[in-house]
């Protein structure tokens, strides 16, 4: 769904178009960019900004593979970023020559998803795991066992995401199956686990997770750390499970698709988002951790009030799988949802 941010931003788009230096078309995770930053960038650069949102990496990849998207910025997660580089879907815009590169925390520079850091600048990172409604459940949450092999208290009150990516990853962590396994026997164990869990699952959905969990419609839901943090800050009775087997990690980066009609404005936006001031605003809005430097004294979420953003258990980053491994994941999910 097309999103235009705030009345002021809309006025800028309409009233200044004759004088604007150009446009900027974003295709990013839905509701992921702080509206005030969209407005601020538009004002400072006299640029008309439009935003489209997606809810899965698969949707983004399909759009870029189709070509001629008309978008100037996208924000894939690391394992899909690697695919986009390998398939020649995004531009080498010399990211490692920008001021934004110097702002990246060193642990996130030149990683396997963009070894030379020429194609991307990270914008947010976090994890995916299980959240619970604390009004409905006060049992243990320190193992994935309680969610994949639930007892009667959680039976029928669990919800999963609608796509396999992080869910299969969590199942692999629980079973000790390596990410991107090409072993059919190992993936059969994953399928068997998920099939046995299915009778206890109320929904496979990535929509309205906050409402479903907060209302008590379900007691446990696969979710993202930042969404739990925001919901909890808003008074929802939710918490994020720190499971000893680990949780699935992700990092999203800003990239420029091939054929971007407004490349220079895209680079300006990437630089803009990477300043400490704006990165702090973005983290405070999105409630996911920032891979670029922020102003710590202005952070809304800290280890004390948002421990979900600072996990004390292993974090395993989703990997870019071989076609054979990805085919096994697809088969598992297809059979599960039949």
User: If you average pLDDT over residues 14-41, what whole number do you get?
Assistant: 80
Do 2-124+251-298 and 126-249+305-337 fold alike per CATH?
A: yes
Please state the domain extents for the chain: 2-124+251-298, 126-249+305-337
Kindly state the tokens that stand for 298: 């202005």
Question: Rounded CA gap, 152 and 158, in Å?
Answer: 11
User: If you average pLDDT over residues 243-248, what whole number do you get?
Assistant: 97
Could you tell me if 287 and 232 are in contact, meaning their C-beta atoms sit under 8 angstroms apart?
no
Q: What is the per-residue pLDDT across 252-310, written as a single tens digit (0 to 9) for each?
A: 999 999 999 999 999 999 999 999 999 999 999 999 999 999 999 999 999 999 999 99
Return the percentage of the chain with pLDDT > 90, whole number.
90
Question: Rounded CA gap, 256 and 72, in Å?
Answer: 6
Cα–Cα nearest to 228, from 240, 237, 219? 240
Could you tell me if 179 and 226 are in contact, meaning their C-beta atoms sit under 8 angstroms apart?
no
What fold is seen in the domain 2-124+251-298? D-Maltodextrin-Binding Protein; domain 2 (3.40.190)
Task: Give, for 278, the enclosing helix (H) or strand (E).
Answer: helix 276-286
126-249+305-337: CATH homologous superfamily? Periplasmic binding protein-like II (3.40.190.10)
């Amino acid at each position: 769904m097309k999103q235009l941010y705030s009345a002021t931003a809309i006025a800028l788009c309409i009233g200044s178009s004759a004088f604007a230096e150009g446009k900027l078309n974003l295709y990013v995770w839905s509701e992921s960019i702080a509206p005030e930053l969209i407005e601020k960038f538009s004002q400072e650069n006299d640029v008309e900004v439009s935003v489209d949102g997606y809810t899965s990496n698969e949707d983004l990849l399909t759009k870029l593979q189709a070509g001629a998207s008309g978008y100037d910025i996208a924000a894939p997660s690391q394992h899909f970023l690697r695919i986009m580089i390998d398939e020649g879907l995004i531009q080498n815009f010399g990211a490692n020559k920008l001021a934004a590169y110097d702002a990246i925390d060193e642990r996130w520079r030149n990683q396997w998803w963009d070894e030379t850091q020429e194609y991307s600048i990270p914008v947010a990172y976090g994890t995916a795991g299980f959240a619970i409604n604390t009004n409905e459940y006060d049992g243990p949450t320190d193992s994935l066992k309680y969610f994949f092999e639930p007892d009667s208290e959680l039976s029928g009150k669990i919800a999963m995401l609608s796509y396999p990516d992080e869910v299969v990853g969590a199942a692999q962590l629980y079973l000790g199956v390596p990410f991107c396994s090409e072993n059919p026997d190992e993936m059969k164990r994953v399928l068997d686990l998920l099939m046995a869990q299915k009778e206890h699952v109320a929904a496979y959905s990535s929509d309205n997770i906050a409402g479903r969990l907060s209302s008590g419609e379900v007691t446990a839901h696969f979710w993202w750390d930042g969404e739990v943090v925001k919901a909890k800050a808003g008074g929802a009775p939710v918490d994020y499970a720190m499971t000893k087997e680990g949780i699935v990690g992700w990092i999203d980066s800003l990239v420029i698709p091939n054929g971007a009609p407004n490349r220079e404005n895209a680079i300006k936006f990437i630089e803009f988002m990477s300043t400490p001031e704006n990165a702090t605003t973005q983290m405070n809005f999105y409630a996911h951790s920032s891979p670029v430097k922020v102003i710590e004294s202005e952070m809304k979420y800290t280890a004390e009030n948002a421990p979900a953003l600072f996990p004390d258990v292993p974090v395993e980053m989703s990997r870019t799988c071989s076609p054979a491994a990805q085919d096994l994941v697809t088969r598992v999910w297809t059979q599960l949802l039949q």
